[in-house]
Structure 1
Amino acid sequence: MRTVRQVLESKNPEVQAVGPDAPVIEALRLMAEHGIGSVLVLDGENRLVGIVSERDYARKVVLTGRTSQQTRVRDIMVDTVTTIGPDDTVAHCMQLMTDGRFRHLPVLEDGRIVGIVSIGDLVKAVIEDQQVELDQLQRYIAS
């Protein structure tokens, strides 16, 4: 099974983030510009203090009648963020996401952010691994 480090090697290493006092519209713009579903929330010292996703926006802004220009990220972010390390396995990450019902996991190494993985990244890795295994089995059977 692949590790998170291997998954990150095949991704753009850039991580999108906003500050907790930024307006929600700023987080939404980042998500739209980069085609992503969440952004990390970092304090002034680049420490992870939360994560905000499209789901948070829909549930905590749209459905409550707030505006994305006047609502601050801190008001809708999830502040108890589950994180992983680069040596965690894809299977472990999928289990965390399933149990926690979320789709993004920040990756920390020595206390600093080195990436983020989404459920899509993990599913892609599983499919690729299964295809390699299938190819190997087919070659074995054919030989």
Structure 2
Amino acid sequence: MRTVRQLLEAKSPEVIAIGPDAPVLDAIRLMAERQIGALLVMEGPRLVGILSERDYARKVVLQGRSSRDTPVRDIMTTQVVTVAPGDSIDHCMQLVTDRRIRHLPVLDGGTVVGVLSIGDLVKTVIELQRQDIDQLQRYIVS
């Protein structure tokens, strides 16, 4: 079974983050520029939260807050679900399904080494299934 480490090796190592005191507007602009749905919230090297488009919609838009005046720390999710490089893709899929989340920061000894999105996971599962199907077809033909 493929691991998180193997999946990260095929991705860009860049981790896009913002500080907890930054205005939400800056975070939303950064997500739009990078075409991503979530940002890690970091204080130096330490992961302190995650901010998603869902957080923005529910905690700013629906509550009538100002994106300019609200700091990221006021709307970020602080109970961040993380995975380790040695975890399996199956484990990650189970987490995103059970927790109804779309992004998994990857921590190695407390250090952020990457982020997996649900898209990364689904793409990998489809690729693995395609490989299994190809092997079965070759077996049947031979």
TM over 0.5, shorter chain: yes
Deviations, residues 14-55 of structure 1 (Å, cap 9, x unaligned): 011000000011111111111111000001x32000000000
Report the counterpart of residue 81 of structure 1 in structure 2.
Answer: 80
In 1, the alpha carbon distance for the partners of 2:53 and 2:99 equals 16
The answer on 1:2 being equivalent to 2:9 is no
Q: Which AA in structure 2 matches 1:55?
A: R
Report the counterpart of residue 57 of structure 1 in structure 2.
Answer: 56
Aligned residues: 142
| Cα drift, residue 103 of structure 1 | 0.7
Runs of 4+ in 1 over 3 A off after TM superposition: none
Q: Which AA in structure 2 matches 1:51?
A: I
Please list, as runs of the form range in 1=range in 2, the aligned pairs for 1:60-71 lying within 5 A after superposition: 60-71=59-70
Q: Gapped runs of 5+ residues in structure 2?
A: none
Q: TM-score, normalised by structure 1?
A: 0.96
Identity of aligned residues (%): 66
In 2, the alpha carbon distance for the partners of 1:26 and 1:138 equals 51
| Cα drift, residue 111 of structure 1 | 1.2
Please list, as runs of the form range in 1=range in 2, the aligned pairs for 1:32-51 lying within 5 A after superposition: 32-43=32-43, 45-51=44-50
| Cα drift, residue 97 of structure 1 | 1.3
Report the counterpart of residue 139 of structure 1 in structure 2.
Answer: 138
Secondary structure at the counterpart of residue 22 of structure 1: coil
